[in-house]
Amino acid sequence: MKGLRRDPERTELRALRRRIPLEGARILEVGCGDGRLTRRIAPLARAVVATDPNEAFIARAKALTPASLREKVRYRVAAAETLRLPGRRFDVAVLSWSL
């Protein structure tokens, strides 16, 4: 949305980086919304699977993801409760304001 900036100070990313090793990690993001945080963590990660139950959000997240990150990021329409993922695959799961 034009006229809205969310966390341009990047305090969220800085807090995450202080606490967890994102570099080279395989990350599962639950509740990614329009991919605001996904686009910030993806450059550091090895791979990101980002999920959200809202199909419109996922469509927007895909559209906003730059070409340079598309190889790393996979988006899926899914609620956390119904996630069907291969076991023991991710190093980090981020619950993005979704619990």
Partner 1 sequence: MVHALTQIHRAIRPDGIVVDLRPDRFAGPRQPRPQLPRICWASNGRERPQGTLDKTPENLQRHRAATRAVKRIVQRGLYRLEGAETFQFRYHFQTLGVFEWRLRTVWKDSFLRPSLYRRLQALQQRSRTGHIVVIEPVRLSILRKR
Q: Which chain residues interact with partner 1 by CB under 8 A?
A: 1-9, 11-12, 14-16, 18-20, 28, 30, 79-83, 85-99
Closest to partner 1 by CB, 67 vs 86, is 86
E strands, 31-83, in order: 47-52, 73-77
Give me the least distance between CB of 66 and partner 1, in Å please.
Answer: 22
CB of 28 to partner 1, least distance (A): 6
Task: Of 22, 24, 28, 32, give the one whose Cα is nearest residue 86.
Answer: 28
DSSP annotation of 42: T
| DSSP 8-state secondary structure symbol assigned to residue 45 | S
By beta-carbon proximity to partner 1, the closer residue of 18 and 67 is 18
